[in-house]
Structure formats: C-alpha cells, structure tokens
C-alpha cells in the first residue's frame, strides 16, 4: 500500500498555495478587508439592523475571490471538462486532500480566511452540489437554461428538504404538490407547505422544493423535486433564523398554492429523493476533510502557544495536563486523515468502474447509479469519517480555547469562531446520530454492502 499523496496532487497543492499567497491573501489584507477575519469578523459580516443578513461588502469580497480563483483555473476544479473543470478521475481524493490542506494551513487555515472561509462554504476550490443535481438529473432544456447561469453566478438555488416540523425524518414531510390546471390552460402542480433552513434564500433566484406527490408519509417513494423561481406567487420568506454563528442566510419559507408547470420537475416524478443522494456522499467526505484539517490547525496553534507561553517560570508545554489532551487529539487526526483519504480513493475507484461501463462496482450484480453503489458499499465509511471529523473539530477548538486561556476565549483568536461554525456540522449533512445509526446498521448486519464479505483492496 502507498500512503503518499500522488506526486501530481502534491504539485497541484503547491500551485494552489502559491496562488493563494500571491492573489488571495493580499486581497484579504487590503482596504481593511481583514476586518472580516479578525476580532471584528462577526459585526463586519452581519447586518444587525436587517434581520442578521450578510453585509453586501462581505458577500462582494467573497464573489471577488471566487472570480479571481475561477480566472486562475482553480474554482471549477471538480467539474467536468465540458464545464471548465478538470474532469479528474480522482476527484474525491484530490478534493479531500485540498480541503484538508486549506483547513489545516498555519497561515490561512481553520476555515477563517478569504481562501477558504467555511462559515458560508466559500473556497477558492469550489463545491457544486446544485451543479451535480442539474448535471445528473436535469433534462436538456434545464441544463441549457440553468447550468451556464449557475457558473456565471446568475442562477442561485436553495435546497428545500428540511421543514419546520421535519428534519431527519424527511419522508414524513408536510409539503404537498397536487396536479392543477395553470391559468394558461396547461398542466402543472400546486405546492403547499413549508421549508426551513433554506441557506442562501436572501439572494436565491430559485428554490429546489421537495414535495409529496403520491404515497404515504414515511415512504421514500412519492416525493418529487421542483425547481421553483423565487418570485413565484405564494412563496413567502417568513423569517431568517439567528444562529450560533452569524450572519444568517438560513430562511424559513412558506408555500401557499405555489403553481408551477410540469416542466419545473427535476428528475423523475415520485422519486425525487434520489436527487439528494447525488451529492450527499461527496459533500460528507469533503466536509470530513475540512473538519479534520481544522482540528489539526487548532492542535498546531495550541502546541506552538504552549511552547512559547511561560507560566510559573517554565513553558506551559511542560505540563502533562497540556500535553496529554493534545496527544490524544493529534493521534485521532492522524488516524482519521488516513481513513478519509482511503475512503475518498475507494469512492473514486467505484466511480471509475461506472464511467468505464463496468458492472464490477454494482453490488450483487444489480445495475445502479454510481452514487447508489457508493451508498451501499461505502456509505458506512463515509459516515464514520463525517461524524467523527465534525466532532473532532469541535473538541480540538474547545481544547485550543482552554490551552490559550483568556486569549483563547477572546475573539482575537479564531478558536471560538471555529467551534461555533463546526458545531453545526454535527447536525447538518445528516445528524451525528443518523450517521452513527448507519454505521451500526453495517456493523450489526441490518445493512449489507452486497460484497459477500469480500473487501476491495485499493491503493492510496
């Protein structure tokens, strides 16, 4: 087994580093833009007198960084070549390695920088879950209408699965879509219900709304996804929810007789939940890499501080009470990093089998989409990576606050911000409990990978 990152990946990370130091960090440090990242970050980012929404200056700065990264060829890295991306055969491995590197970097790491500010999923190497949904499930007209606009930043879509009364139990959703005749005499659907935590609703042009079109509550069959223009009659943003980390762009949306044409359906009628699976695994493994990297950032900063801090006439680092928690955390980071990279590699191997038309990646010989096969064969490993990394990031940030004492508690250090941000990932992207339950399903035999006990050996 080879535990080294491929030489091409190492060279690409060096190239990315050079770009960030040359083009992004100078922008971060110009025109007092550093106010968005130092102790003033939360008030500088937040319109406290306008519902807690992001300030225009903050979002404009993020947009400027993305444009620079796009022009330099980094932003669209994970996309197919036909849309300006690399079309790399090892996208998951490369993305995880880059996310880990950027989150752990001693200068711009921790997820608090213009290169990689994870509070709002901003990075100079973009993540495109909405693109994946359109690319894999959109018809030709939808792809032509929406994907180019998305890449220009003109099409922005929220993801409407969670509701006021339903989160992890999404198959019990209250939102319903019933057939109707539109004013022009054509067939369509009337959608009534609600959605919560609609990230980006303040600037969205469209909303992807999941609604039950048939079947009973609790059934995964009978749910359909609709692309709904934000300005459609009956769509009301009721509120934006204040959160542990501000600003907020998380809306509660009410839908009352929202009428859309049948052409608004994305993917198959009554089988819309499959759309969410398209990006779930990629999102979770990449988030795990970022969380693991942020944990390492906190550990490294704590070690450096403990070495320099003199207490009672000797370095703080000489105390075992300081050493041992950092040893535990560092050990966990090293083990987790390898599991993340190994799992990402196995995802790439499985996706490659599908792209080459092989049925070897289909569990039990059953034909399925690549993300379905990944869920079946690797879903438990991805959940291991994700839930543990998100927990580890918060533990490392909490320990860093303790090691730094009053300085760590202050906003002059990034640790309180890191803790507040990464704490959310123990709930989003599948709660910690849901993911542990998935791992238990494989461990105790409630679920099967379909591999009949065989274990594929892959190289890292």
Q: Element (H or E) spanning 159, and its range?
A: strand 157-160
SS3 460: coil
Report the pLDDT value the prediction gives residue 453, as an integer from 0 to 100: 47
pLDDT exceeds cutoff 80 at 295? yes
> What pLDDT shows up at residue 450?
66
Q: How confident is the model at residue 357 (pLDDT cuts 50, 70, 90)?
A: low
| pLDDT score, position 455 | 42
Is residue 211 a contact partner of residue 223, using CB atoms and an 8 Å limit? yes
- Using an 8 Å Cβ cutoff, are 228 and 249 in contact? no
User: Which residue shows structure tokens 């110009």?
Assistant: 30
CB 195 within 8 A of CB 162: yes
Q: How far is CA 129 from the centre of its chain?
A: 8
Q: What is the pLDDT of residues 411-445, one digit of tens each?
A: 999 999 999 999 999 998 889 999 999 999 999 98
Sign of dihedral through CA atoms 341, 100, 390, 288?
negative
**Alpha-carbon gap, residue 390 to 55, rounded angstroms:** 28
Q: pLDDT band at 362, cuts 50/70/90?
A: very low
pLDDT tens sequence across 26-64: 999 999 999 999 999 999 999 999 999 999 999 999 999
Within 13 Å, how many C-alpha atoms sit on residue 163's CB side? 19
pTM: 0.93
Report helix, strand or coil for 259: strand
User: Which residue has better confidence, 353 or 206?
Assistant: 206
Sequence-separated (6 or more) residues with CB below 8 Å from residue 273:
170, 171, 210, 220, 223
Query: 3-state SS string over 57-122?
Result: HHHHHHHHHHHHHHHHCCCCCCCCHHHCCCCCCCHHHHHHHHHHHHHHCCCCCCCCCCCCCHHHCC
């Amino acid at each position: 087994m080879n535990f080294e990152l491929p030489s091409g990946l190492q060279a690409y990370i060096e190239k990315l580093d050079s770009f960030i130091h040359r083009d992004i960090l100078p922008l971060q440090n110009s025109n007092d833009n550093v106010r968005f990242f130092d102790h003033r970050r939360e008030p500088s980012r937040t319109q406290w007198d306008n519902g807690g929404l992001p300030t225009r200056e903050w979002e404009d700065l993020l947009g400027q960084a993305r444009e620079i990264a796009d022009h330099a060829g980094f932003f669209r890295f994970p996309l197919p070549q036909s849309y300006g991306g690399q079309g790399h055969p090892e996208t998951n491995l490369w993305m995880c390695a880059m996310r880990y590197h950027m989150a752990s970097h001693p200068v711009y790491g921790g997820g608090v920088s213009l290169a990689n500010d994870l509070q709002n999923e901003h990075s100079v190497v973009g993540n495109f879950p909405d693109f994946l949904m359109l690319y894999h499930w959109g018809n030709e007209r939808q792809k032509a209408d929406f994907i180019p606009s998305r890449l220009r930043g003109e099409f922005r879509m929220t993801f409407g699965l969670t509701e006021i009364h339903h989160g992890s139990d999404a198959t019990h959703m209250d939102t319903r879509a019933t057939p109707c005749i539109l004013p022009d005499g054509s067939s369509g659907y009337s959608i009534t219900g609600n959605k919560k935590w609609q990230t980006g609703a303040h600037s969205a042009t469209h909303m992807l709304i999941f609604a039950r079109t048939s079947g009973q509550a609790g059934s995964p069959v009978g749910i359909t996804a609709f692309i709904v223009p934000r300005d459609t009659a009956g769509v009301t943003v009721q509120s934006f929810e204040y959160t542990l980390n501000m600003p907020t762009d998380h809306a509660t949306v009410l839908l009352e007789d929202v009428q859309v044409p049948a052409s608004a359906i994305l993917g198959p009628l009554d089988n819309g939940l499959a759309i969410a699976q398209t990006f779930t695994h990629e999102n979770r493994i990449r988030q795990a890499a970022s969380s693991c990297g942020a944990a390492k950032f906190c550990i490294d900063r704590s070690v450096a501080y403990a070495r320099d801090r003199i207490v009672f006439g000797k370095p703080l680092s000489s105390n075992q009470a300081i050493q041992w928690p950092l040893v535990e955390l560092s050990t966990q980071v090293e083990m987790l990093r390898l599991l993340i990279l190994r799992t990402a590699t196995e995802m790439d191997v499985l996706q490659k089998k599908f792209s080459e038309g092989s049925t070897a990646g289909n569990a039990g010989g059953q034909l399925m989409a690549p993300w379905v096969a990944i869920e079946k064969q690797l879903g438990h490993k991805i959940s291991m990576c994700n839930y543990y990394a998100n927990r580890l990031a918060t533990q490392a940030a909490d320990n860093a606050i303790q090691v730094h004492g009053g300085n760590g508690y202050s906003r002059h250090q990034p640790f309180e911000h890191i803790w507040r941000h990464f704490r959310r990932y123990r709930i989003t992207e599948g709660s910690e409990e849901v993911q542990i339950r998935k791992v238990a399903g494989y461990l105790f035999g409630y679920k099967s990978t379909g591999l009949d006990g065989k274990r594929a050996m892959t190289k890292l």
